[in-house]
Copies of this chain bind each other. A is one copy, B any other.
């Protein structure tokens, strides 16, 4: 069986999903981990939400403000931040937009549905 692979520069082959206006992602997953390769348009804003899956946010390019619980974090290239299970969070892209790799463990079931939209039901 071929190794599942993609490139962050131009991810292809994942399940496409629109998370919010100006925030598109491609989703890839195995048994225990889901990866979400996001492209955020300039100043695109997500929605405050939470879920039981643990999340790590990896900033690939651009900048923005990551809200995690009560904290507002200015983030840029190479920054990696942890979002514990159940913690409210959101992201607002900076003026040049952002590319992000989100990591979920376990995979988010709401994100495995073809044709889905949004950040999934809060749990």
Q: A33-B33, A54-B30 are known contacts. Are A3 and B106 too (CB-CB below 8 A)?
A: no
Partner of A32, one of B4, B32, B79, B101: B32
CB distance from A29 to the nearest CB of B (A): 9
Is residue A53 contacting chain B, with contact meaning CB distance below 8 A?
yes
Stretch of A6-14, A15-23, A110-118 contacting B (4+ beta carbons < 8 Å): A6-14
Known pairs A73-B5, A103-B103, A105-B106; A56 contacts B79 (CB<8 A): no
Contacts of A33 in B (CB 8 A): 33, 54, 56, 103-105
A78 at the B interface (CB under 8 A) = yes
Binding site for B on A (CB under 8 A): 2-9, 28, 30-33, 35, 53-54, 56, 58, 68-69, 71, 73, 77-85, 101, 103-106
Number of copies: 2
B81 touches A4 (CB 8 A): yes
Cα of A105 to Cα of B3 in the assembled complex, Å: 17
Given contacts A53-B32, A54-B32, contact A5 B79 (CB under 8 A): yes
Given A8-B78, A8-B80, A106-B105, A3-B71 contact (CB < 8 Å): yes
- Of B7, B79, B105, which is within 8 A of A105 by CB? B105
